[in-house]
Structure 1
């Protein structure tokens, strides 16, 4: 049983983070924020996949102003990602940003930070203090050295220094992130930080890589931390369509039995017995179940051997071969169809299961 670390609770646009609130799954848009139509379209796809908070880069005043239009077109909270220019943080909050991600130490000094915090108080906007291995202050690197798994002190002290800067202006609506591209540095850093503060923690491995490398690195690091009760919200960072980040995020939570959203999909790895186009079938089913919210178990199997028998716990499954498609429920054959009609028929069964789940 996982025992959650006790943290203070903050509110990001109606989504609670920390305390006893569910661990939330985030992503970040990769569109040009100034292109509001494309950005809204991407966020709506993220919402459909289950994304609960979204972050967008604010590179200039036009992007800051675009936050208003984007917020009006979506339903989940939007966080403005700010670097260096404090005026962008002010403009983003004026235009409806429901959170800001900043590194307080790189905004240009105490006076500029004070203006940002005053605006955060005014607009009731929480602050994410975000520090990466590549953005640590030079004096801390000189004192502690570059952060490693054995010695992440520079990363931790940089975060706490910036937290103290915000606190010095009388503001405590914060969450903290300390990210590294190295898995074990990330794990060690968060483990040690969690003992030094009760602010909610945003987890992530920065610059994790593409679909395979990024999924593995993020799942290892975040899986270790979440299993230890560390972490209140997170992003799986992938060089990929951000919708994939949400899919990986919820599968991670499901595997740890922390949260469950939508169907659990199981499929066999294929072998010489496979006589249907299992890759295409599994891909199409996987794409569809990501739009579902009913927590059923769905199986896509390659042959009769691995079909109803090995997947008998599945609520709904599909297999086939030699021109025949089979749909089964709880290990019992439910329907036989021609192989060319299998995908369409199975999709109809999935839709029916989703409707029944929502009406139950």
Structure 2
């Protein structure tokens, strides 16, 4: 396998064929051959999860990360290798979140409505309330800025004798 593979998908009615490119990139990235965008790891859901909130949050974060990549690629070298975990309960969630660069464990069935956030393996904050998604997105954005640091544009060196 080189830098490219071909994936054929039947598009949704009225859908675009660009989904084929995204799936091909995800295959190459999952195999560890090339990184295109930060990966979102999410649990598939089970009897411990009580809603689709974690699935919706995982999809929202993945979409948001893809939207950020054109700008981030220029400003934050290496950000494409970042791993984000969005887990649906606190049984397996904290472990997965600790192994990711940044992760969140959402409340599952019969669990307190709190969501611990882990950054570089350490629990840093617990989110509560109706703005968990927005607050987590802000934490991810801050993490990218701090960890990957804005690349400064190269300054031209002045030629000798030129003021």
Please name the residue that 1:336 is paired with. 126
In the TM superposition, residue 243 of structure 1 has moved relative to its aligned partner by 3.4
In the TM superposition, residue 232 of structure 1 has moved relative to its aligned partner by 5.5
Q: Is the 8 A contact 2:104 2:115 kept in 1?
A: yes
Deviations 1:293-347 (CA, angstroms, capped at 9, x unpaired): 5121100101111222233210111122232222112342211122411100111
Residue 358 to residue 330, structure 1, CA distance change in 2 (3 Å): closer
Q: Is the 8 A contact 2:97 2:117 kept in 1?
A: no
* Cα distance between partner residues in 2 of 1:319 and 1:273: 12
Question: Greater relative contact order (Cα 8 A, min sep 6): structure 1 or 2?
Answer: 2
2:63 aligned with 1:287:
yes
Please name the residue that 1:299 is paired with. 85
* Cα distance between partner residues in 2 of 1:298 and 1:280: 14
Please name the residue that 1:359 is paired with. 150
Please name the residue that 1:246 is paired with. 21
Runs of 4+ in structure 1 off by over 6 angstroms are: none
Partner of 1:284, secondary structure, is: helix
TM-score (norm 1): 0.33
TM-score (norm 2): 0.69
* Cα distance between partner residues in 2 of 1:358 and 1:236: 34
* Cα distance between partner residues in 1 of 2:43 and 2:24: 22
Please name the residue that 1:348 is paired with. 138
Partner of 2:99, secondary structure, is: coil
Among candidates 240, 243, 263, match of residue 38 of structure 2:
263
Partner of 2:60, secondary structure, is: helix
Higher normalized helix content (fraction of residues): 1
Asked which structure has the greater CA Rg, the reply is: 1
Consecutive unaligned residues in structure 1, runs of 5 or more: 1-225
* Cα distance between partner residues in 2 of 1:332 and 1:354: 16
Q: Which structure 2 residues correspond to residues 1-360 of structure 1 after superposition, within 5 A? A: 226=1, 231=2, 233-240=4-11, 241-276=16-51, 277-291=53-67, 292=69, 293=73, 294=79, 295-321=81-107, 322-356=112-146, 357-359=148-150
Residue 314 to residue 232, structure 1, CA distance change in 2 (3 Å): closer
- Residue-pair matches, total: 131
**RMSD of Structure 2 on Structure 1 (CA):** 2.2
In the TM superposition, residue 283 of structure 1 has moved relative to its aligned partner by 1.5
Q: Is the 8 A contact 2:96 2:103 kept in 1?
A: no
